[in-house]
Structure 1
Amino acid sequence: MLWLRLVPILLLIVANTVLHALPLLAVAVFKAVLPSERLRLACNPVLTGFAENWIAVNSAMIDRFTRIRFLVEEHAPLQTDGHYLVLANHQSWVDILVLQKLFNRRIPFLRFFLKRQLFWVPLLGLTWWALDFPFMGRYTREQIAKNPALGQRDREATRRACAKFRAIPVAVMNFVEGTRFTPEKHAGQSSPYRHLLKPKSGGVAFVIDAMGDSLQAILDVAIVYPGGRPSMLDLIGDRIPEVRMTVRQFPIPDALLGGDYQNDAAFRDAFQRWINGVWQEKDAEIARLLD
């Protein structure tokens, strides 16, 4: 029965989380009281070391307790000391574990933009904070229209996070669709893409603006589950037969550096055309992977 499998695996996941999160938080507290920025930066490899070990154990459990076949196409070598912006399609919470398994210790530690409410998740919220994950309000257009200061709040959070990222090797992860793909959302958007929701370019633009030429490349990841969009229960229950991925690497166009996405309509239109082109190519790549 599923619960006979579920309970021991969940206990192992919890144990792995506690064993890595507690010492990580202890280092974070020590880092917070250090008097100089140089000393605080010296703590970052220790923090990311705990996080990478945590992910490595999670990935080992996926290998041990499931029979998932991972088919990955990569078109360029990866570096552990670079600065990457990672763009991926988003279908399931499983995507995060898949991306961590794919990239752990092959590129700098992945950092995600998280909803502010996730800060209150027991233990995990503090751990994400200690690892400098940016917490965002994720306000709707209607909310921002009523109170424009809300949009400015997220932009400032992005700038603060990216200012930290410029000083360390980092891979900034962005699910450009802004939400998980479902057929209902796809139909509701009248999306021009067969396998994707419409991309939201604002977050990508703010990261590129804040990090500038310190970003060495974009990693564009297409994730496909031929057996259907999975849940975390499907992962733990070994009900995901195969995951297919491609990783494309390309530079950020010079024309997208140094522009004003918020106030320059011509630049904003050009940026949106570029991200729409990336999304068209990703849609075609997903179709190919599904064949």
Structure 2
Amino acid sequence: MFVSLPRFLRIPLACLLLFTSTVLHVGPLLLLTAVRLLIPLRSMRNAFAPVLVLIAESWLSVNSWLFAAFTRTQWEVEGLDGLSTRENYLVVCNHQSWVDIPALQRLFNRHIPFMRFFLKSQLIWVPLLGPAWWALDFPFMKRHSKQELEAKPELRGKDREATRRACEKFSHVPVSVMNFTEGTRFTKAKHDAQKSPYTHLLRPKAGGVAFVIDAMGDAIRQMLDVTIVYPAGPGTMMDLIAGRIREVRIHIRRLAIDPPMRGDYENDSVYRERFQNWVNQLWAEKDARITAMLAR
């Protein structure tokens, strides 16, 4: 619709409309959250959750429409059929760019339950977005360096406790829990530093996936293995807004979470090794899939 506008008009207008959409959705979201916090009965507070999700889904829909109206980005998606908003999912995906997040939100919005991401604790201070993520029960995680853990051993396990608390909250509502299994965005420097055995991927961190499966228990029975590639290379959010990302290819594979995938990752060494091998195999298959998707 607006894609034919000159760039010096199109980009500022797109940014303005995205900002307006954010303000118009986040305002009611935070207002309802404040009211929710004042209600003493948990059952009544829980009644607000679907309303907050509806606001968030509207926000994502408007943003996706704006991206479609202002850009010529082509979307090639495989495997979206047969998903349900009544089924809980664990979504695992490779991570290349901040664009991954709006891409996944555009893809899955209203096809599966509203997705929650595990976010770095510093992101709660992002204007508008941080409070909105907090209002929507996104889990915020504190990442500690190896040096911090050596200096303060009591910090070990804090992220696991946060994961468990978040998943216990999710066990009572339809939810999709999103996990970027590499733990960080792919770069050539990180790939070389890790000596990653994969061509297109960093080494996966199996622990986060295992903890979500354990904490959610029988409430989560399916995993969505998502592979996302940018044939011209990953870009920034501004590249997406400006229409410089010409094509996005996404493959979705649905996997059952079988009993052998469940266990005590922290204390059962046999299970831990088996689960790590399973995730490594998953990543090897994803690496080959990326090669094939880029070749197309």
Mark yes or no: TM-score above 0.5.
yes
How far did residue 41 of structure 1 move? 1.4
| Structure 2 Cα separation of the partners of residues 149 and 82 of structure 1 | 37
Residue 75 of structure 1 contacts residue 249 of structure 1 at CA under 8 Å; is this kept in 2?
Answer: no
Unaligned runs of 5+ in 2: 1-5
Measured on the aligned residues, the alpha-carbon RMSD in Å equals 1.3
Range that drifts further, 90-99 or 140-149: 140-149
Q: 1:15 to 1:75 in 2, by over 3 A?
A: closer
How far did residue 182 of structure 1 move? 0.8
Residue 268 of structure 2 is matched in structure 1 by 264
1:125 aligns with 2:144: no
1:287 aligns with 2:271: no
| Structure 2 Cα separation of the partners of residues 176 and 60 of structure 1 | 29
Partner deviation per Cα, 1:216-272 (whole Å, 9 max, x = no partner): 200010001001111112111111111111000011131122x22112222211111
Residue 76 of structure 1 contacts residue 248 of structure 1 at CA under 8 Å; is this kept in 2?
Answer: no
Unaligned runs of 5+ in 1: none
Residue 64 of structure 2 is matched in structure 1 by 59
| Structure 2 Cα separation of the partners of residues 34 and 148 of structure 1 | 38
Residue 141 of structure 2 is matched in structure 1 by 136
Instruction: Give the 3-state SS of the residue equivalent to 1:266 in structure 2.
Output: helix
How far did residue 3 of structure 1 move? 4.5
Identity, in percent, stands at 54
Instruction: Give the 3-state SS of the residue equivalent to 2:177 in structure 1.
Output: strand
Which ranges of 4 or more aligned residues in structure 1 deviate by more than 4 Å?
none
1:238 aligns with 2:246: no
Partner deviation per Cα, 1:92-121 (whole Å, 9 max, x = no partner): 000000000000000000100000011111
Amino acid at match of 1:268: R
| Structure 2 Cα separation of the partners of residues 228 and 23 of structure 1 | 37
| Structure 1 Cα separation of the partners of residues 144 and 20 of structure 2 | 34
Amino acid at match of 1:216: R
| Structure 2 Cα separation of the partners of residues 76 and 255 of structure 1 | 27
Instruction: Give the 3-state SS of the residue equivalent to 1:249 in structure 2.
Output: strand
| Structure 2 Cα separation of the partners of residues 219 and 49 of structure 1 | 23
Range that drifts further, 236-245 or 51-60: 236-245
1:181 aligns with 2:186: yes
Instruction: Give the 3-state SS of the residue equivalent to 2:225 in structure 1.
Output: strand
1:74 aligns with 2:55: no
Q: Which residue of 273, 279, 283 corresponds with 1:275?
A: 279
Amino acid at match of 1:224: V
Residue 78 of structure 2 contacts residue 250 of structure 2 at CA under 8 Å; is this kept in 1?
Answer: yes
Residue 107 of structure 1 is matched in structure 2 by 112
Q: 1:255 to 1:203 in 2, by over 3 A?
A: same
| Structure 1 Cα separation of the partners of residues 8 and 191 of structure 2 | 33
| Structure 1 Cα separation of the partners of residues 165 and 76 of structure 2 | 37
| Structure 1 Cα separation of the partners of residues 106 and 188 of structure 2 | 27
How far did residue 151 of structure 1 move? 2.7
